[in-house]
Amino acid sequence: MWAAVFLTVITSVTSLTVTVTNHWNGGFQGKFAINTDHAIYGWRAHIACNNPLDKLEIYKATLTETSNNKKEFFLVHKPFDSTITDGGSLEIDFIGHFTGNIVPNCAVAINDGRSPSPYSDQHRELPTPSEQSGPHGNGTRSSRAVSAMKYDYAKALSLSILFYDAQRSGKLPPHNHIPWRGDSALHDSDNGHDLSGGWYDAGDHVKFNFPMAMSTHTLLLGFIKFQDAYKHFHQKDLMCDMIKWPLDYFLKCWIPSQQTYYFQVGDPSKDHSYWGRPENMHMDRPALKITPAHPGSDVAGDTAAAFAAGHIAFKTICGNAAYADTLLQAAKSIYDFAKNHQGIYSKSVPQAGYGSNGFKDELSVAAAWLYQATHDVKYLNDAKQFHETGVPWNLSWNDKKITSQASTTRARYLLYEITKDVSYKNEILNYVKDNRPGGTATYTPCGMLYRDQWGSNRYSANGAFIALLAAADGIETHDYVTWAMSQINYLLGDNNYGISYEIGFGSKYPQHPHHRGSACRTTTTQCSFAEPGPNPNVLNGALVGGPDAHDHYEDRRDDYVKNEVACDYNAGFQGALAGLLHFAIHNTLPQAPAPKCSHH
């Protein structure tokens, strides 16, 4: 028994046949599909039925309002399905519950923002794709067309935000976007001091603040620099929500009155011997800290940078001035702690899971961010004092020298924009020159910048990110953007396998990431590392480690070199995606370079 559900087309979006596929006493299951002849970035739906429904369940959309008579339901896209590509389709299933044995007759209206909303002003549509932001994200309307993109960078960006949401530890919010994640590690603490929250580092469940803080201020750099891309493609609010999670956690970790900063929760050895969901773990999770007697200028400096960058983002983009002020006060106090008690945290506390080889780069980055936040010249002087010259190897969790050289571009950030000193510009040029073909960096036969077997994709993306920051400041713009696009396109499909190394992007991507939460079913408290088949939970947005120096890659859960994921893997990658979108919405994205290899 079935009944038709009619899709009312109010824009250029079209539909497939929509039906009620199942019916029983007290409920029914239906579906509708959106087919489109143009790319859309955000949609809303209005379901109206001739009989009242007690409840409507839907996974691929968020129910925002129900009419008083329970006959009308207003929906908005979720982050992972906000974008539908040109010629693409999105099928949406839902379940309706009611009293009695009836077959309701419903209609569905879709609005993608290209025409006025059929609803009241209360249900205004998302901004249209023609509402482009200018260089400073002022939301001015532009008639320029968006540059053609070989890959849907907006979709890849929205998926990357979801990855970080999947890494959340602690009490999850009511709007949790990851259906297979639940509350975990609620009792993380030290002598009663609450340390719940933050991000799990990778496929494991330890919280390492050193790479977490680096990931946070790198993500914030891309957000501030390319905020027009986030706004134009409706990702701003999702990014504000996502990035607040680690900042809230860092605020818990820093106790200024005690000059104490907690930088790690969890024992790597015990954690890595456990293959299971974070929701089910019960091992001891010790907390490690730095103090004046056991200093850590590197991890404290990175956290100061995250706080200061967060201050700028929440004051100027996210619209939360009170929270921004809290972050700035924390940035100042933890920076003073890092500067006044200098030392390498992994030498002060040898149990630290991530080793560090210095702290000047972290202090330089922190001071530069604080100058941007306060315009206090003492921070600028510190940034210059701690700045290290020379060509850095790459941007990574242990080497931010390039960030203090290049990240202060028009993003209102560090030394180059502040001083306009040609020496800093030359350092940027030398870094990108060293990473592009003809420099000292190694390339795979198919054209990927290859710096290391561990997270090879990460270094390709990080190089692209720095090049795009420089390009946005007018440094070798066309060449830098073209090269950066070649690296990101490789990661999204321009490789010898035709595979996207970002999970959930496209039709072919890794199915077996080395990630416990993704690999373990939610219906059991135990799981096996060697369980056959793809991971039951799709880790949308995660950038896996990547291929070797010869472009060889195998999608195997036991190969953690090629298939683990990590917070810092996605940070520069997400910034590069936003950078490409920035050039696209200003119609200055060059033509995509041809792949070096054909698919096999």
**Per-position DSSP letters for 478-532, written without gaps between them:** HHHHHHHHHHHHHHHT-STT---SBTTSSS---S--B-HHHHS-TT-S---TT--
φ, ψ of residue 62 to 5 degrees: the values are: -105, 125
What does the alpha-carbon distance between residue 41 and residue 334 come to, in Å, rounded to a whole number? 40
Residue with more model confidence, 124 or 241: 241
Map out the domains of the chain as residue ranges: 6-123, 153-585
Q: Give 489-526 pLDDT, tens digit per residue.
A: 999 999 999 999 999 999 999 999 999 999 999 998 88
**Per-position DSSP letters for 533-587, written without gaps between them:** SS-SS--TT-B-----TTS-----TT-HHHHB--HHHHHHHHHHHHHHHHHHHTT
- pTM comes to 0.78
- Residue located via tokens 């070989």: 150
Q: Looking at this protein, which amino acid is placed at residue 13?
A: V
Q: Give 575-591 pLDDT, tens digit per residue.
A: 999 999 999 999 999 99
Average pLDDT over all residues of the chain: 85
The helix or strand, by DSSP H or E, that contains position 433, with its residue range, turns out to be helix 422-435
Residue 257 neighbours by CB under 8 Å, 6+ apart: none
pLDDT band at 111, cuts 50/70/90? confident
pLDDT for 134 equals 32
Best CA proximity match to 497, nearest among 538, 558, 544: 544
pLDDT for 124 equals 28
CATH class of 153-585: mainly alpha
pLDDT for 114 equals 38
Q: Looking at this protein, which amino acid is placed at residue 498?
A: G
Residues with a catalytic annotation lie at: 555, 564
The whole-number average pLDDT for the span 534-553 is 97
Best CA proximity match to 189, nearest among 181, 197, 178, 201: 197
Burial class (CB in 10 A: 0-12, 13-18, 19+), 197: buried
Which range, of 212-221, 296-305, 391-400, 444-453, averages the lowest pLDDT? 391-400
pLDDT for 140 equals 30
Best CA proximity match to 303, nearest among 245, 247, 347, 371: 247
Sign (positive/negative) of CA torsion 595, 218, 167, 273?
Answer: positive
The whole-number average pLDDT for the span 592-600 is 91
The encoded tokens of residue 524 equal 């059991």
The encoded tokens of residue 175 equal 């709007």
Q: What Rg value do the Cα atoms of the chain yield, rounded?
A: 24
- Residue located via tokens 């390009």: 471
If you count them, how many residues does the chain have?
600
The encoded tokens of residue 311 equal 């201050």
- Dmax of the chain from CA atoms? 77
pLDDT for 397 equals 54
pLDDT band at 10, cuts 50/70/90? very low
Q: Give the up-direction half-sphere exposure of residue 345: CA atoms within 13 A in the CB hemisphere.
A: 33
Percent of the chain with pLDDT over 70: 85
- Residue located via tokens 């970035």: 41
Q: Is the pLDDT of residue 417 over 70?
A: no
Best CA proximity match to 164, nearest among 235, 228, 102, 234: 235
| Beta pairing partners, 35 | 14, 89
Residue 257 gets which letter from DSSP? G
What does the alpha-carbon distance between residue 278 and residue 199 come to, in Å, rounded to a whole number? 11
The fold of the 6-123 domain, in CATH, is Immunoglobulin-like (2.60.40)
Best CA proximity match to 588, nearest among 495, 431, 481, 515: 481
The whole-number average pLDDT for the span 447-469 is 94
